[in-house]
Amino acid sequence: MTPTVDAQRLQRELDTLASFSEQPAPAVTRVVFGEMDLRARAYLKTLFAEASLDVHEDPVGNTFARWTGANPSLPRVATGSHCDAIPNAGRFDGTVGVLGGLEAIRALQRAGFIPQRSIELVLFTSEEPTRFGIGCLGSRLLASALDPSVGDTLMSGGQSLNQIRASAGFSGPLADVALRDDAYSAFVELHIEQGPTLDRDRIDIGIVTAIAAPASFRIFVEGEGGHAGAVLMPDRRDAFLAAAEIALAIERIARSSGSIDTVATTGVCELFPGAINSVPSRTRLDVDVRDIDHGRRDAVLRDIDRACETIAAGRRVTVRIEPINADPPAHCAPVIVDAIERACDIRGLQHRRMISRAYHDSLFMSRVAPTGMIFIPCRDGISHRPEEYASPDAISHGAEVLADTLAVLAG
Ligand code: GLV
Ligand code: MN
Ligand code: MN
């Protein structure tokens, strides 16, 4: 059996999904539980139903589309990804794993394959941290890696996650999101690489062996505000300038970790009161630090703590660090890595084992099931930008390798 994807249909569906965006094309912005996210979900659910999949949603909006196998009592095989998109993003991050996963299932159906295990496509809620500050919200809850009390504590625009999900139509206790231990026998995610190596080296498929350890935190700096004309320079306790020094220290610490694999980004800076003629009294920085080496990542976090103390003393401000997450890296299951590799060999596709520097829902699914990831090239490695591009051929190769892998895993 050689399942074949319908590349044109898949492209049309990716185009339609990209049209649900808060920004004009080519940019895509789709914030979780916003109007565009809900319209994208409705569109996807229609496609899932058209493929005769049984669809259900959990209290946080994770959506499951099941192709029931000949032996439905066996743990299921799952695939999937996310459809939320950060501000000013592209159209392929996450969506290739959702629509490519759907097309892989349809290709297996067309090929007459009868799975022993049920195959389930999962649309994860809020892989991106845009709205609630924490990435992989849905998969963290599925893997019991986040306390359900976050329903009341995660806030967006003055409303709690519980209030926002209820307005979006998702109710029930968040504690019910956690998966049973025996829910899945395997999870495989198809995704664009989001880095340059496959494209540069003309490799068709990246086979992920591990996912880098991500951490993020907020830094609150408090100084003293005042009139921009009247407060003399020696008297100032400018919260923004202290934050600026902290951001530069974070860059220096990441660059001097001894490894090119350490990366740190200060991606958000909010000033209060945010007026041209007022000395900033408060500043908030949101910082993301990652490394493939867990110990080195944590050493960087400790160095950042120390730098904050020194800068706070030097500038006579207070600095408070509020951790958001500090996750260990994930390792992919050798049995899935091997299955993906065999599928590439049979199809004559060039492949390479590699680390994922971006995080994915697979980071958390690996806690509940043996997990693997299939990467496809994206042009120049560009991602999280409107220029993000993966060719139709690359997407088809990925979906076909996914179909072959699901067939092996579902038996
Ligand atoms: C996922 O979007 C990430 O930031 O790695
Ligand atoms: Mn992303
Ligand atoms: Mn993604």
Smallest CA separation from ligand 1 atom 5, residue: 358
254 Cβ closer than 6 Å to some ligand 1 atom: no
pLDDT for 22 equals 98
Q: Which atom of ligand 1 is nearest to the CA of 94?
A: 2
Question: Ligand 3 centroid vs 55 CA: distance in angstroms?
Answer: 22
Q: Name the DSSP letter for residue 176.
A: G
Torsion of CA 95, 98, 100, 102, to 10 degrees: -150
pLDDT single digits (tens) 289-307: 999 999 999 999 999 999 9
Task: Respond yes or no on whether the N-terminal peptide bond of residue 329 is cis (omega within 30° of 0).
Answer: no
Q: Is the CB–ligand 1 distance for residue 359 below 6 Å?
A: yes
Looking at 111-196, list the stretches that DSSP marks H as alpha helix, in order from N- to C-terminal side.
137-142, 150-153, 161-167
Residues within 5 Å of ion ligand 2, judged at the Cβ atom:
93
Ligand nearest the Cα atom of residue 214: 1
State the average pLDDT for the chain.
98
pTM for the whole structure: 0.95
Give residue 168 CA to ligand 3 midpoint distance, Å: 22
What's the average model confidence in pLDDT over 103-126?
98
CA distances from 33 to 4, 76, 130 (A): 34, 28, 11
Instruction: Please tell me the distance from the alpha carbon of residue 231 to that of residue 248, in angstroms, as a whole number.
Output: 25
- Rounded to a whole number of angstroms, the distance between the first and last alpha carbons of the chain is 13
Model confidence over 69-102: pLDDT tens digits? Answer: 999 999 999 999 999 999 999 999 999 999 999 9
- Residue 163's pLDDT is what? 98
Nearest CA among 96, 110, 100 for reference residue 3: 110
128 Cα to the center of ligand 2, angstroms: 6
Our answer on whether the CB atom of 243 is closer than 6 Å to any ligand 1 atom is no
Spatial contact of 92 and 392, defined as CB atoms under 8 Å apart? no
pLDDT tens by residue, 150-204:
999 999 999 999 999 999 999 999 999 999 999 999 999 999 999 999 999 999 9
What is the Cα–Cα distance from 411 to 101, expressed in whole angstroms? 17
pLDDT at 7 over 90: yes
Which ligand approaches the C-alpha of residue 87 most closely? 2
Cα(94) to centroid(ligand 2), Å: 7
What's the pLDDT at 46? 98
**Is the pLDDT confidence value at 1 over 90?**
no
Counting from 1 in the atom list of ligand 1, the atom nearest the Cα of 194 is 5
Q: Give distance in angstroms: CA of 295 to centre of ligand 2.
A: 24
At 308 the pLDDT is 98
